[in-house]
Amino acid sequence: MKVEQISVFLENKSGRLADVARSLGDAGVNIRALSIADSSDFGILRIIVNDNDKALEVLKKKGFTISKTEVVAVEVSDKPGGLAQVLDLLARESINVEYMYAFVERSSDNAVIVFRFDAMDSAIKVLSLNGVVILDGSTVYSL
Amino acid sequence: MIWNEEFETLPREALEALQLKRLKSTIEQVYATVSFYRKKLDEKGIKPSDIQSLQDLRRLPFTTKADLRDNYPFGLFSVPMENVMRMHATSGTTGKPIVVGYTRRDIDIWAELMARTLSCAGVHKGDIVHNAFGYGLFTGGLGFHYGAEKIGASVIPISGGNTKRQVTIMKDFGPTAITCTPSYALYIAEVAQEMGIDPAVDFKIKAGCFGAEPWSERMKDEIEKRFGIDAIDTYGLTEVIGPGVSSECIEAKSGLHIFEDHFIPEMIDPETEEPLRYGEKGELVLTSITKEAFPVIRFRTRDITSLNPECCVCGRTFVRMERVTGRTDDMIIIRGVNVFPSQIESVLMHIEGIEPHYQLIVDRKGSLDILEVQVEVNERIFSDELKQLEKLGKRVEKEIKETLGTTCRCKLVEPKTIQRSEGKAKRVIDKRKM
């Protein structure tokens, strides 16, 4: 039920993001979704790619500090109120969203949102019980 | 293990008698041969014959680094050039270099002192010494080289640099001892790990002599852990002889024995120049009492330490100096607070996961000094969550504030972006325009 995401530590310097993108591109790794969290000095690039092992190997070789994190990819109805519906379910159970970002591609007619929760397993349980579609890794990587 | 039992364990009284005899002859020698010293003594109205006790040393003027510089290159040599067998020099990064000379006897004595230093670390005949101190004008390389040869060890004269090759040689040649700067030792360990080699497992090294730059106790612990060795602190400076002024003993690892049969140490307050008591922290002042080509009288080392006269478990009777925590000229003053890089190092190394590579950037905004502490983010401290990383930065800032009383800004930087040193590490970049 969980999807693997790669996080990369980046200093706020011009060209660093380009370095990551180029390294992955040269290795034939496709970025499926991404987001950046930033402070004044540094940022954390979070990406979901089509080939995790290769991406990890390439980035490590280039000397980036990286880590793997598990996230949940959820299908959300691509209509007004679609996201609110899912978030309400979680709020009711006092589950916090650490961060979230959206996929560019859609899954059938739905938008795909990536979540990191403070309580991952409870979140998955709540979502499944309420019939929310959670995508597994292989589906997400090939979206 | 004591290299020269007779001299290194001399009873205090006999040692002081020997020091006085050697001091008198050194003063006579410099008065007769070096116009700089003769002029300074004449100005004070002191004749060499006035030196009748060790206390009389205090009547003589200090010699500073500026004095040595003013007499560049050979103005303070005490013998004709034909008797000078070797020259060494400081790097001159802070101005003109300082050139020192050695007669054959000086080189012999230096080798003896380095043999003592290596013996302090338990290194003896049969050991293989990987000497990664730089060879050349710098005293570190050749000093340890001669000492290692003197004790009959096998020397690998690798010098500094080309670190991957160093690692390969350490693995293949199986040295049992290493000598280099502490910052370079950590860099070697880092490169070894990148090459898939664990220094603690794959090397046969059991002890190391480190020196030539101030380093903290925690850095020592880190080196001991990464290499699985005993790390011995050694001390010296080109102006006085090079390495070989003092060394920790492996038995106690508690302060560095000053080889007092060749150097007389004094401790002064760097501001008032008043003598300090045992245990009080101040600036170390050294007088050489056996050197021929380049004697120094009351040389102000600018190194901050304290002296401890207590007997040591190893049996040496020499006074011990505490690990040098900094130099008066390394000291940075941040908004009126004195800060030594090694103090910040201690704080950083106390925090789990932080790399022993760091840099301090000092700048001034308006009339306010800004201290930035750069720390590398490795996989051990990297978190996918911004707030965790920000928390780490805040923790560094808080602990430095609590320990040193100065505010700073911690900047997290990417791994391997802080320059690694193959010799003396450059810890401070001061951008203030004074």
The secondary element (H helix, E strand) that includes residue B155 is strand B154-156
Looking at the fold, whether A41 and A7 belong to one and the same domain comes out as: yes
Domains recognised in chain B with CATH numbers? 1-329 (3.40.50.12780), 332-430 (3.30.300.30)
- The answer to whether B382 faces chain A, any CB pair under 8 Å, is yes
Looking at the fold, whether A30 and A92 belong to one and the same domain comes out as: no
Looking at the fold, whether A124 and A75 belong to one and the same domain comes out as: yes
Looking at the fold, whether A14 and A28 belong to one and the same domain comes out as: yes
- The answer to whether B390 faces chain A, any CB pair under 8 Å, is yes
Predicted confidence at residue B433, as pLDDT, reads 66
Distances (CA, A) of B217 to B132, B181, B272, B405: 21, 14, 29, 20
The Cα angle at residue B114 between residues B109 and B120, in degrees rounded to 5: 130
Beta bridge partners of A99: A116
Given A69, A91, A112, the domain boundary residue is A69
Contact A63, B415 (CB under 8 A): yes
| Subunit contact A11:B384, Cβ cutoff 8 A | no
Q: Nearest by CB to A39, from B378, B386, B417: name it.
A: B386
Looking at the fold, whether A9 and A31 belong to one and the same domain comes out as: yes
CATH number at residue A121: 3.30.2130.10
Taking only the tens place, the pLDDT of each residue in B153-205 is 999 999 999 999 999 999 999 999 999 999 999 999 999 999 999 999 999 99
- What is A20-74 written as a DSSP string? HHHHHHHTTPPEEEEEEEE-SSEEEEEEEES-HHHHHHHHHHTT--EEEEEEEEE
Residue among B143, B136, B144 nearest B161 (CA): B136
Q: Which of A6, A65, A101 to mutate to test the interface with B (most CBs of B within 10 A)?
A: A65
| Subunit contact A11:B415, Cβ cutoff 8 A | no
Q: Nearest by CB to A41, from B382, B385, B411: name it.
A: B411
Q: Is B411 helix (H, G, I), strand (E, B) or coil?
A: strand
Taking only the tens place, the pLDDT of each residue in A21-53 is 999 999 999 999 999 998 888 999 999 999 999
Taking only the tens place, the pLDDT of each residue in B92-140 is 766 788 999 999 999 999 999 999 999 999 999 999 999 999 999 999 9
Query: Is residue B88 over pLDDT 70?
Result: yes
Range of the domain at A122: 70-141
**Torsion sign across C-alpha atoms A71, A74, A80, A81:** negative
> Which ipTM value was assigned to this complex?
0.81
Looking at the fold, whether A19 and A44 belong to one and the same domain comes out as: yes
Tell me the pTM: 0.83
Looking at the fold, whether A65 and A120 belong to one and the same domain comes out as: no
Mean pLDDT of chain B: 94
Which chain A residues contact residue B415 at CB under 8 A?
Answer: 63-65
Q: Nearest by CB to A67, from B379, B412, B417: name it.
A: B379
Looking at the fold, whether A49 and A82 belong to one and the same domain comes out as: no
Looking at the fold, whether A134 and A117 belong to one and the same domain comes out as: yes
Q: Which residues of A114-138 are buried (b: 16+ CB within 10 A; e: fewer)?
A: bbbbeebeebbebbeeeebbbbeee
Query: How far is the C-alpha of B31 from the C-alpha of B365, rounded, in Å?
Result: 50
Contact B120, B249 (CB under 8 A): yes
Contact B283, B322 (CB under 8 A): no
Query: Is residue B434 over pLDDT 60?
Result: no
Given A46, A69, A92, the domain boundary residue is A69
Query: How far is the C-alpha of B286 from the C-alpha of B238, rounded, in Å?
Result: 12
Taking only the tens place, the pLDDT of each residue in B282-305 is 999 999 999 999 999 999 999 999
Q: Strands A66-77 and B154-156: what pairing?
A: unpaired
Looking at the fold, whether A47 and A81 belong to one and the same domain comes out as: no
Which chain A residues contact residue B414 at CB under 8 A?
Answer: 9-11, 16, 63-65
Task: Name the residue with tokens 């009339």.
Answer: B367
Q: Band of the pLDDT at B6, cuts 50, 70, 90? A: very high
Q: Band of the pLDDT at B426, cuts 50, 70, 90? A: confident
Contact B327, B314 (CB under 8 A): no
Look at chain A and report how many structural domains it folds into: 2
Query: Is residue A108 over pLDDT 90?
Result: no
Looking at the fold, whether A79 and A45 belong to one and the same domain comes out as: no
Looking at the fold, whether A93 and A135 belong to one and the same domain comes out as: yes
Given A47, A69, A91, the domain boundary residue is A69
Instruction: Give the closest-approach CA distance of A46 to chain B in angstroms.
Output: 8
Structure tokens at B428: 């401070």
- The answer to whether B384 faces chain A, any CB pair under 8 Å, is yes
Biggest CA pair distance of chain A? 45
Structure tokens at B54: 């060790």
